[in-house]
Structure 1
Amino acid sequence: MLLKEHPLALLRRSWPALLFGALAGALLAALLSFIQPLEYSSTVRILITQPGATNIDPYTVLKSNERIAQNLSQLLYTSSFFENILSQAEGVDRDFFPTNEYDRRRAWSRMVGTTVEPGSGLMLVTIFHPDRAQARSLVQAATQELAKQAPNFFGFSVRVQVIDAPLDSRWIARPNFLNNALAGLVLGALLGLIWMIANRQRI
């Protein structure tokens, strides 16, 4: 009579393959991380307010500020904002960006990261760049552009204020070697587990 091998017995017999898959996945992910561009980041926190909205209940104002912050975060990715930011940023190598419009927009979209805190007008803006000083210059220019354009898009009562000055990353911000290695470890372990199950023997 053919019986399926007990899972624990199968695991005891095949754990070297599982371990090998996990370590190989982690090593491969780490190696792939090294071939990607190494980038620093600079992050600024801004607050969107409407000082003139005195006759509206606070909850409505907060939700309105949140929506404005979300819209501003999307506008930041547009080519018009990018060109204005690039023209204002000091010490930024403009040759770093591709001349092809499609590649240029994709490069900018990859460099920018935004986060809006729910229920508030707080927004984090992060710029990634191989040069820490240029990342800082770009995020400062981005903040200035947001403050300048917000009243034009959403009314002159809207104000954008910097509440946390740009904070530069101490170490490489991207790629995240630890996260990539852990993801590779898990993926490698899963592949090892699949191989182990697919090649189990019947006794």
Structure 2
Amino acid sequence: MAVLQGATGVITRGWFEFNNADSGGGLQADGTVRADGPEFTRNHARRFGGAIDHDFGDSVFKRTTVTGDTAGLDGGAVDIDLGTIEFVDSKIRNNTSAGTRGGGIYNNCGSVTLGHSTVRGNASTVAPGGVFTLNQFTVIRSTIASRCGSSMTERAGHTMPAPRRPGPGRDAVPVLKDAAPARHPVPAQGRPHNSFG
């Protein structure tokens, strides 16, 4: 399914299963999406976003389940390039990125909110398997855990700011207060990022 730029797609329940695409195996979102209760299962993208590739728009996914999806590059379940996307009461589990990062969620330049949701059991070739973000990522009462046993549980809600460049007395990767990410891999080519699980 594709939602074109400037359009709005409304999804109530529904199943996205066994789909294949270059990016966005189940859904290519270039516009705005309002989804309640869909399930994305065993979809595949040759490049980005095994289940969902979100390029533009402001989208909300409520009570959404994303399981068993795969991507050849980043974002085994979800790849976000631009715009805002919010997951509420959702489960993103057991997805795989055969490329480098973000078996669950890969956020390039978008703004992501994860509210009362779980990202668990996702894997990628290079850590982290759960979430890899280069931009704004807000976690509210959600759990992020990888297959490797590393985990982060955010109880009070916290916003990850956009990464900042290293400088005197500053870390390249901000750390969540009271809920530190499990790992801080060294960024490729010195590019700062935040990663979980």
TM-score category, normalised to shorter length: under 0.3
When normalised by structure 1's length, the TM-score is 0.20
When normalised by structure 2's length, the TM-score is 0.20
Name whichever structure is richer in strand by fraction.
Answer: 2
Please identify the structure whose Cα radius of gyration is greater: 1
